[in-house]
Amino acid sequence: MTPAIAADEAGAKPQEVEAVVSNIKNHAEFTPYSAPLKFEPKAAYTATAESVRDSLIRQWNLTHQELARKDPKQAYYISMEFLQGRALLNALGNLDITNAYAQALKQLGYDLETIADQEPDAALGNGGLGRLASCFLDSLATLNLPAGGYGLRYKHGLFRQSIDKAGQHEEPENWLEMGHPWEVQRHGIVYPIQFFGEVQVGENGKRRWVGGEKVLAQAYDVPIPGYKTKNTISLRLWSAAVPAEYFQLEKFNNGEYEEATKAWATAEQICAVLYPGDGTEAGKLLRLKQQYMLCSASVQDIVETFLDRRPEGSPVNWSEFPEKVAIQMNDTHPTLAAPELMRLLLDREGLGWDEAWGIVTKTVNYTNHTVLPEALEKWPLAVFSKLLPRHLEIIAEIDKRFIASLREQHKSASKEELADLISRLRILGGVLSDDEKELGATQNGGEPPKQVVRMANLCVIAAQVVNGVAQIHSDIVKNETFNDFYKMWPHKFQNKTNGVTPRRWLKFANPKLSAVISKWLGSDEWVTDTTKLTGLRKFADDKKLHEEWVSAKKAAKEVLAGYIKDKIGVTVNPSALFDIQIKRIHEYKRQLLNILGVIYRYKQLKAMSPEERAKVVPRVVMFGGKAFATYTQAKRIVKLVTDVGSVVNNDAKIGDLLKVVFLTNYNVTVAETAIPASELSQHISTAGMEASGTSNMKFALNGCLIIGTLDGANVEIREQVGEENFFLFGITADEVPIARKEREEGKFLPDPRFVEACDFVRSKAFGDYDYQPLLDSLEGNSGFGRGDYFLVGRDFATYLEAQKKVDEAYLDQDRWARMSIMSTAGSGVFSSDRTIKQYAEEIWNIKPLKVE
C-alpha cells in the first residue's frame, strides 16, 4: 500500500498539468504494454512511468554529456544487490513534480496512490546490503557526485515469499513480467565474458585464456535522479546473453532442440535468481559465474570509459587510471574486480606486473559488511580453477608475492610463527607454504587441508582502503577479523557508519510527519541537511507539537492497520503499541528471542484476572523478512511466529491486548508502510554480530523508539538520541565469548521465564509441528544444537526487563511523544548524504560536478 501522497492541489500550474495529461495520453496510445482502447490501472501506470522517464532521460543525457566533457574522477559502486523499491513516487518526488502528476491523473480518472500501487518492487536485492547500495545511489545523485552503480539484472530476484499452515514457501518473483519502463537497454554496450577453458603460453611468454564457454553481458541502464537537481546518474545492470551464431540451426531442424539451444539456456541461468543455492558444485559454479560476470562486465566498462575519454590519437597513460577511477567493492561478492582489472592490464594492455598491481591497489576499495564466517567467502580451489583458470594464476601470483613480503617483514620470527601467520593471511587457504611443508603441517586430525580461495583476504590485500560500516563493527574488523592485516597496514582501515536517504525514508514515505517537521523547523531544508533535525529538540516538551506528532503517527498506524486487514486478514487496533521487527530472518538477528518474549507475554496474559488485564498496554507485534530457502532453522522461526499468531489472534480472552502478525513478502514497499507506523522497533542481535543495520536508522528517523543491544549502529544511535530514549538490554560484545564458554561448560543457569516459554512451545500449545530441533539449538548443556551460540537464553531476562520499561513508558503518552520527537531529532547524522560525503572525501577523492 502506497503512503498517502501529500500533494498540494495548487502546487502545479494548469499548463504544466495539461502537458502531463497530454504526455501520459501519448504514451498510453503508443505503449506496447497495453491493449488498444483500454486505459486500465496497469496501462495507466506504464504510461505514467514512461512519461516521467522522458523528464529523467533529458537530465540523464545532460549528466552524461557533462561527465564526458569535464572528465572528472568518477566512483563506481559494484554490488550484487540493489534493493531499489518502487521508482515512480521516488522519481516524482526527486523531480519535484508530484503535484502536477497527481492532478493530471485525477483528470484521467485515477488517483496517484492507485497508479503507484501497480508498480512491482524491482527484485534486485534482499536485505540491508542492497538497500544501502540504493540509498547511496540516491545520495550520490543528490550531492551531484560523478558516480554510478553496477549490478545484475535478476529475472526472478531472491524469491516471492508466501506463508501458509506449512510455513514459508518460495515462488519466482516475476517483477519483469509486464516489462520495466524505467530501464533502457543499451544495445551498443555488450562485453564478452568467458568461463572454463585453459591458459596457453605464447612464444613471447604472454599468457592467453582460450576456449571454454562464452556469454555476452548486455547493459540495461536505470536512471537515478537526485533530489531537486538536474544530476541523474546510472545504475547499470548486466544481463547474460549469447551471440546469435550460438543457435545451432542444423541441430534444431534435426529435432535436437535442447542441444541446439543449450548455450542460450546456460546463459539464462546466470541472472535467473539472486543467490542461487550453492550446496552443490553446480550451485557453486553458478554463484561464481554471477560474481565474475558482474565484475568482468563492470571493469571492462570502466576501462572502456577511461579510454573513450582520452584525447583522440594521444597515447594512453595508465598511471592516470587511479586519478580518474575509484572502484568500491560492496562486500566480498565483487572481489573479482581486482584480479579482473589485473587480467585486462596484463593480458590485453600489455603492462608489466608491478605497474598493473600498482594501478589496482590505488583503484579498488573494499567495504566489509559482516564478521560472520560464512559471509567471508571461501571458494573451493577446485571449483575456482575449473571456472576461472587465468584468474587463479593471477591470484596465485598475488599470493606468492604477498607471502614473500610477509617473510621480509618478519625475518626475526621463528619458522613456526611465520608458518602460522602465512596460513592465516594468505589468499590460498589450505595450500601449504614451504615452512608448513617443512614442519609437516596438516589439519583436521592429519587430513589434508581444505584448499580454498579466501576472497576477503584478497580484498584486504588488493584494496587501497578497507572500511567497516559502524564504529563498533570497524573496531571488531581491526581488532579481531583482520587484526593481523591491521597491524601491517593500519592506514588502510577506516570506519564509514552507514546511512539512509531521508528523501525516501521520511519525506516521501511519511508525508504527514514530514509536514509537521517542516512546519516546526520553519522549512524543509532538513531533507538535504538532516543536521537541522536537531532543531526539534527545543520543541520536545511543547504539547502542541505532541498533539500534531501523535496525530501524524496515528494516521500512519491506520494505514498499516488497513494493509494488515487487506493483505494478512488480521484486524488490529491502531491505538495499540505497534512493535515491529522487519529484517532478514537469521538466528543472529534473534527473531527467536522476540517470539519467545511474545510467548511469555501471552502466557502471562492468560493467567491474569480481568482487572489485571485492564492495566496492560495493548500491543501488536509484527515480524517481516525472508528466510533463505535452504536455511532450515530460519524457516522454523518463521513457522513458529505464524503458529503463535494463529493461536494468539484467535484467543477471545486476550482480544486486542496482543496480536502477532507476520508481514508476508517483506520488501521496500512494505517497509515504506510499516516504518512510518512503528512506535517500537526491535534490533536485538547478539552483540558484536550485526555490522551496522540500516533499518534501525529508518525507524529512529521516523520517531520510532528502539529496543536493542549494543550492536552495530545501535551504539551510535543511542548516543545521538539519548540513553533515556533507547531501551537497552543484553551483554556487550566483549562479554559474548565468556558467556558462550560458560554455556558450553554448563555454568549458566537459564532464567526460569526462559525455560517456561520454551516448555510452553513443547507443550504443543501452538500446534503439533515438531519444534524440538529449534529448541535444541538453545540448549547449551545437553549436547544438542550449538550450545545457544546466539545467547538467546543469556539475554532473555534483561530483554523482558527492557520490555517492562517499554510498557511503563507507553502508559505516559506525553513522555512517549517526547521520546519519539527526540528520536527523530537525533537521527540526522544517519543520513546517507553524510556517509557518501565521507566516502567521496576520504576514500574516493571525488568532487561534486553539478549539471547546470
CA distances from 672 to 77, 110, 120, 507, 828 (A): 25, 22, 14, 11, 19
Count CB neighbours of 734 within 10 A. Answer: 9
Instruction: Tell me the mean pLDDT in the region 382-403.
Output: 98
Are 820 and 46 a contacting pair, CB within 8 Å? no
If one compares 439 and 649, the residue with the highest pLDDT of the two is: 649
Report, in angstroms and rounded to the nearest whole number, the Rg of the chain calculated over CA atoms. Answer: 28
Name the one residue in this structure whose C-alpha cell is 509536514. 515
Is 369 tagged catalytic?
Answer: yes
Residue 502 pLDDT > 70, yes or no?
yes
Domain boundaries, the chain: 11-70+96-118, 379-464+473-492, 507-830
Asked whether residue 5 carries a pLDDT value surpassing 60, the answer given is no
Beta bridge partners of 341: none
Q: What is the dihedral of CA 609, 565, 672, 126, to 10 degrees?
A: 90
Catalytic residue among 27, 343, 369, 743: 369
Locate 642 and state its grid cell. Answer: 505464524
* Count of positions (residues) in the chain: 852
Query: Would you say 465 and 365 are in contact if contact means Cβ atoms under 8 Å apart?
Result: yes
pLDDT band for position 372 (cuts 50, 70, 90)? confident
Rounded Cα gap, residues 163 and 169, in angstroms: 6
Q: All 3 cell numbers of residue 325?
A: 577511477
- Cα separation, 1 vs 709, whole angstroms: 31
Q: Which of 160, 507, 584, 590 is catalytic?
A: 584
pLDDT at 444 over 50: no
Confidence (pLDDT) at 397:
98
For the segment 633-645, what is each residue's pLDDT rounded down to a tens digit? Answer: 999 999 999 999 9
Type of residue at 771 = Y
Are the C-beta atoms of residues 342 and 360 closer than 8 Å to each other?
yes
pLDDT band at 443 (very low <50, low <70, confident <90, very high): very low
Question: Which band of pLDDT confidence, cut at 50, 70 and 90, is reported for residue 436?
Answer: low
Work out the average pLDDT over 164-187: 93
Q: For residue 745, give the 3-state DSSP assignment.
A: coil
Residue 694 annotated as catalytic: yes
User: How far is it between the farthest Cα atoms of the chain?
Assistant: 92
Nearest one of 825, 591, 799, 791 to 703, comparing CA atoms: 825
Query: How far does Cα 399 stand from its chain's mean position?
Result: 31
Confidence tier at 786 by pLDDT (50, 70, 90): low
Within 10 angstroms of residue 8's Cβ, the number of other Cβ atoms is: 10
Cα-based distances in Å from 47 to 38, 175, 623 = 12, 17, 35
Strands, E, within 354-480: which ranges?
A: 364-367, 378-380, 428-429, 452-454, 466-468
Residue 20: what pLDDT? 93
Cell numbers placing 293:
560476470
Catalytic site residue from 142, 686, 694, 824 = 694
State yes or no: is 698 an active-site residue: yes
Task: Tell me the percentage of the chain whose pLDDT exceeds 90.
Answer: 85
pLDDT of residue 202: 85
Catalytic residue of the set 27, 284, 391, 589: 589
Flag whether pLDDT at 71 surpasses 80. yes
> What does the angle CA 295 – CA 838 – CA 60 come to, to the nearest 5 degrees?
60
Which residue from 251, 270, 271, 269 is spatially nearest to 261, judged by alpha carbons?
A: 251
CB 687 within 8 A of CB 668: no
Q: How far apart, in Å, are the Cα atoms of 287 and each of 122, 377, 495?
A: 20, 11, 29
Query: H helices within 522-590, ranges in order?
Result: 543-563
Catalytic residue chosen out of the listed positions 53, 698, 718, 743: 698
Answer yes or no: are the C-beta atoms of 21 and 27 closer than 8 Å: no
The domain made up of 507-830 is a member of CATH 3.40.50.2300: no
The yes-or-no verdict on residue 555 having pLDDT over 50 is yes
Q: Is 743 considered catalytic here? A: no
Question: Whole-angstrom Cα distance, residue 741 to residue 723?
Answer: 30
Q: Are 365 and 77 in contact (CB under 8 A)?
A: no
Q: What is the pLDDT of residues 539-552, one digit of tens each?
A: 999 999 999 999 99
- pLDDT given at position 104: 94
Other CB atoms within 10 Å distance of the CB of residue 593: 27
Q: What is the pLDDT of residues 283-324, one digit of tens each?
A: 999 999 999 999 999 999 999 999 999 988 889 999 999 999
Cα separation, 481 vs 456, whole angstroms: 10
Helix runs in 364-388, H state only: 381-387
Q: How many CA atoms lie within 13 A of 112 on its CB side?
A: 22
Nearest CA to 465 out of 446, 482, 440 is that of 482
Name the percent of the chain lying above pLDDT 70.
Answer: 95
Q: What is the C-alpha separation between 417 and 30, in angstroms, rounded? A: 72
Please, which residues bridge with residue 207 across strands? 201
pLDDT, averaged across the chain: 93
Give the pLDDT confidence score for residue 446 in this predicted structure: 56
Mean of the pLDDT values across residues 207-211?
Answer: 93
656-702: pLDDT as tens digits:
999 999 999 999 999 999 999 999 999 999 999 999 999 999 999 99
From the list 625, 621, 619, 626, the residue with the least C-alpha distance to 660 is 621
Assign 785 a pLDDT band (cuts: 50, 70, 90): very low
Whole-angstrom CA distances from 843 to 470, 540, 553, 757, 780 are 16, 38, 39, 49, 44
Alpha-carbon distances of 352 from 128, 206, 348, 349, 403, rounded to whole Å: 40, 11, 11, 9, 20
C-alpha–C-alpha distance, residues 160 and 175, integer Å: 10
Band (781; pLDDT cuts 50, 70, 90): low
Helix %, strand %, coil % of the chain (to 5) = 50, 15, 35
Tell me how far apart the alpha carbons of residues 820 and 549 are, in angstroms, rounded to a whole number.
Answer: 9
233 closest CA partner among 391, 67, 392, 347: 67
